[in-house]
Amino acid sequence: MEYLYAAVLGLLQGITEFLPVSSSGHLSLFQNIFNAEGPDNLFNVLLHFATLLAVCVFYRRDIAEMVAEFFRAVRDLVSPRHRSEKVPAARRLVVMILLGTLPLVVVLPFKDMVEGLGASTLFIGCALLVTGLLLFASDRFARGQKTERSMTVADALFIGCGQALAVVPGLSRSGTTITAGIARGLARPFAVRFSFLLSLPAVLGATLLELLDVVRGGAATSLNGAQLALGMAVAAASGYFAIAFIKRLADRGKFGGFAYYCWAAGLVAIVASFLT
C-alpha cells in the first residue's frame, strides 16, 4: 500500500506542478476532502527536488548556456577587455530570471500564513476559479513577439509578481506566470520557457527552506528508501511529460483549455466545503 501511496503522490506532484492547475491546491484538496495525509516533510522535499530535476533535464541546453554566460559575465567584470558590446541572449535571460525572482522575497515573511490558507477547501475552490479566469484570458491576448533579447525589466518584474502571487494555494504558478508573460507581449513559446526557467530558483529556494525544516524537526518518514525513490521517479517522469504537453498546447494557442477544468475543480471544492 505504501508503494501505491508514494506513486500516487509522486504523480500528483509531477503533473500538477507544471500543468496550470495548482499543485498546492490539489494536494490540499486531496487532504481536506478525503481526510488523507499528505507527504511527510522529507518526502515533500524529495518530490519537489524530483520536479526540479524534470525542469533541469527538459531545459538542459538553456541551463548550460546560462551557467556558462554567468561565469563569462563574472569574467567580463574582472577583465573588461573581454567585454562585448552586444549582450548575449543567454546572459540577458539570466538577468531577467534574477529580476523575476525578486518579488518572491517580499512574500517570504508571510510564507506560513499563506500556506495556512490551504486548510480552507472553500478558499482553494475560489482560487481555482480565479486560475480558470486567468487561463481563459491567456488565449485571448494578442500574439506577442518578445523573447529574451527584447523583453524588458518591467516584463520580468510583472511576471515575477505573478509568481509571487501564485504562492497562494489554488493559484497555479505556471498558469499565472505564463498568462502574465503572454499579457506582456512575450511570444507564446518563450512565455512557457521563461515560466519554467523562472521556477528553478523559486523551487530550489522553497526546497532548501523545507530541507531546513526537516533538519530541525528530524527526517523521520514512514516510507523506506525504495518507496521514496519510486515517488521521486514518478514525479520526475510525469513532470517532464507535463512540461512537454504544456509547451505544445501553448504553441497552438490552446493553453486556456485548462480553464474549464479549473472551474469544474473549483466548483467541486466549493460544494465539498459545505458538505464536509
pTM score: 0.86
Mean pLDDT: which of 17-26, 80-89, 214-223 is highest?
A: 17-26
Q: How confident is the model at residue 128 (pLDDT cuts 50, 70, 90)?
A: very high
Q: How confident is the model at residue 79 (pLDDT cuts 50, 70, 90)?
A: confident
Give which of 137, 135, 146 is closest to 173, Cα–Cα.
Answer: 135
pLDDT at residue number 134:
92
% pLDDT > 70, the chain:
89
Residue 256 in grid coordinates: 486556456
Backbone angles phi, psi at 43, to 5 degrees: -65, -40
- Decide if pLDDT at 96 tops 90: yes
Q: How confident is the model at residue 197 (pLDDT cuts 50, 70, 90)?
A: very high
Between residues 94 and 80, the one the model is more confident about: 94
pLDDT at residue number 147:
93
pLDDT at residue number 117:
81
What does the angle CA 257 – CA 196 – CA 231 come to, to the nearest 5 degrees?
Answer: 90
Between residues 82 and 256, the one the model is more confident about: 256
pLDDT at residue number 48:
84
Q: How confident is the model at residue 238 (pLDDT cuts 50, 70, 90)?
A: very high
pLDDT at residue number 83:
59
pLDDT digits (tens, 9 = 90+) for 139-149: 888 889 999 99
Instruction: Return the SS3 of 184.
Output: coil
pLDDT at residue number 120:
84
Between residues 134 and 252, the one the model is more confident about: 134
Give which of 237, 16, 224, 273 is closest to 125, Cα–Cα.
Answer: 273
Query: What mean pLDDT value characterizes the chain?
Result: 85
pLDDT at residue number 1:
61
% pLDDT > 90, the chain:
36
For the chain, which residues make up each domain, given as ranges? 2-275
Q: How confident is the model at residue 180 (pLDDT cuts 50, 70, 90)?
A: very high
pLDDT digits (tens, 9 = 90+) for 38-76: 566 677 778 888 999 999 999 999 999 999 988 888 887
First to last CA, the chain: 26
Between residues 100 and 223, the one the model is more confident about: 100
Q: How far apart are CA 94 and CA 92, in angstroms?
A: 5
pLDDT at residue number 36:
57
